[in-house]
Amino acid sequence: ILIEDVINCFSLSIEPKILREAIIEMKSTGIPKRHLRRPFQIYEELMGVYNAIDIPNLVFQSIKLLKNKKINFPKLYLHVDEYQDLNTMDQEFIDQIIQSGNHEVVVCGDDEQSIYSFRHAYPAGIKSIWDSTNWEPIAFNKCSRLPNHILRASRKLIEAHRGSHIAKQMEIPSETREKIITFQCTKPDIELRQIIKHIQEIKSIKRKKDGNPISF
């Protein structure tokens, strides 16, 4: 309703969904779009009139409160997980909390596992923490969650697309006979049918690759 009010107020030739996404992007990155600066301001004022708040504003307004010194935290023991998936303003929020007192903070994440670009994730943020002398860096260089052949293949894939990443010195296991089965499909529905066919073949054989029976 508020977004449509803004569109009508300024006679904007923009779809509500597009304007909403632009507002979310501005609140997630802290970077204003010049042509939407005034509509954005009116949107914020309207939320004040209706005593409303949107989800990105929870962080956006909290940063303002912290910068204005309106919150006095007790000593916090804060653990922040999946830091690589936080956007710029999320990370600014964490930074403002750290500056608000004598807190103990642990940040955990992996810049190579950032998958939340749709919410403007900023994986470079964890690299800047890693490079900062204000933090104690600890790298976990052993992976226990993947079979050896999948770990080797994933490292090859990451290295082929490597930009400026944290050097974790990962322990890479020796190669085994296990291989990843791959299918090249041109459409999602073809991919789906191929996976179903492969599962059906495994079920019909009723054996694993090592010859042992399959238990469902």
Once rounded to an integer, what is the mean pLDDT over residues 98-106? 91
User: How far, in Å, are 32, 142, 186, 194, 216 from residue 107 at the CA level?
Assistant: 28, 18, 40, 41, 38
Length of the chain: 216
Q: What pLDDT, in 10s, does the model give residues 16-54?
A: 898 999 999 998 998 888 888 888 888 989 988 989 888
Top pLDDT among 138 and 32 is at: 138
Judged on CB neighbours under 10 Å (0-12, 13-18, 19+), 125 is: buried
Taking 90 as the threshold, does the pLDDT of residue 84 lie above it?
yes
Q: What is the percentage of the chain residues whose pLDDT exceeds 90?
A: 33
Taking 70 as the threshold, does the pLDDT of residue 116 lie above it?
yes
Once rounded to an integer, what is the mean pLDDT over residues 139-145? 86
State the chain's mean pLDDT as an integer: 88
Radius of gyration over every alpha carbon of the chain, rounded to an integer in angstroms: 24
pLDDT at 72: 78
3-class DSSP state of 30: coil
Tell me how far the alpha carbon of residue 144 is from its chain's centroid.
22
Task: State the CB neighbour count (10 A cutoff) for residue 47.
Answer: 15
Which range is least confidently modeled, 55-59, 81-85, 156-160, 181-185? 156-160
Once rounded to an integer, what is the mean pLDDT over residues 106-129? 90
pLDDT at 138: 92
